[in-house]
Structure 1
């Protein structure tokens, strides 16, 4: 009988152990410490390890033209619940926070396509006062920021070469004008001679105009063939949306190689011409 009691006791203990094991696992699941939550913990750990950082997608030094729009780029990876903001360093003014604008200047806005990493700052109708440093910030711990320097230039045309050009009668006058607007190039560039429009279909004839867009802006080239003395005077390059540029052209009736415009060369300035003349007189006196 004693042996049977021991055997029954062992069987009961074994049954209790096998019956209690699932209950123990269920209790662990409820408490959040058992195997069913291992994946969830792993995901939480992964999310906490993902670091917020900026993706370097644009230059830190940006140049804009007065009156034109400009976009300052900022791409943030893994921002999570953190807030991305733009600040103007000059006066520490918060311009935008998340997708909201915090300035009364309606020219400023944030560009953030849904579900994208881009938090770009757009400034319309750029003004000289907008020049300075702008920071894209993320309120992580510690806080991270990306600084971009904005330079502002006037929309200005420029004619290559000196302010005065000398050409020989019968040769070709060649003038090249550059307009430093890239985002919104001028719709037209007009050349004037002594206040009158210079065009290929004008009464002068022998005029060629070539205008093209380049990486640095818009280039307009004026060629006037078989130069006459009457072609001397002021030539102006006038873009539709930029300040004009001017040059004085002298057509000389006679050979003077030192002062001639040769092909793409720019000739010499009056000061250099005076120096050459002085040197010539000095040699004569000797």
Structure 2
């Protein structure tokens, strides 16, 4: 009798435990609920990316989390695009290339990311990769037509900026290629002249592009075009941004050499910079 009661008690307790478990465990979520939760999580990360436009570190972290969790999302191209821009601002070349290549695989005919990656490759002395991407980007830009509803002035400004960046990148590519050639090699002069042409296009698109002014000054110096070199360096100094001190140092060396060889004439650093400011419209 005791054994029977014990068995009945065990059965009753087991049934009670099962009932309690059924009450405490959440019901299995429907596919619709899971999809809604995922969508909310995706949108939360996208909002973080958008809200941190002035914080590239936060943008990059949110983008990496999104890619890890939602690689198959229809929003992945947007996230890869923003991640490329964020890592460009952070000077994180490897992550910029990772996200940029992923974006180009998804959207192969978009010109902006090839422009950015080409510049990144050039700045990291990877001239071959830079030239391939820059050439691709130039082809894409030349084939683009203005979307309906976009003001012509706005369109021209945006396309002009991208083309100017490409010209600056390709100018630097040719300058790097020239630097690898022997001074007696005719190809060196060809590369330097191509560099000059590209840099001239760059500063025509943006006269305040101090880096292109400085680099075209280097190209002119290597071509022994003294006056053109001094004018370019003077403009880089006048703009007074990232390369001003380097341009001033290089310009000073040239002026010293001219003085030693009795070829200085009436040239002075201050005078050349004053003229450059006037040419650029700098007060």
Calculate the TM-score normalised by the size of structure 1. Answer: 0.30
Larger Rg: 1
Q: Which has the higher helix share?
A: 2
Calculate the TM-score normalised by the size of structure 2. Answer: 0.30
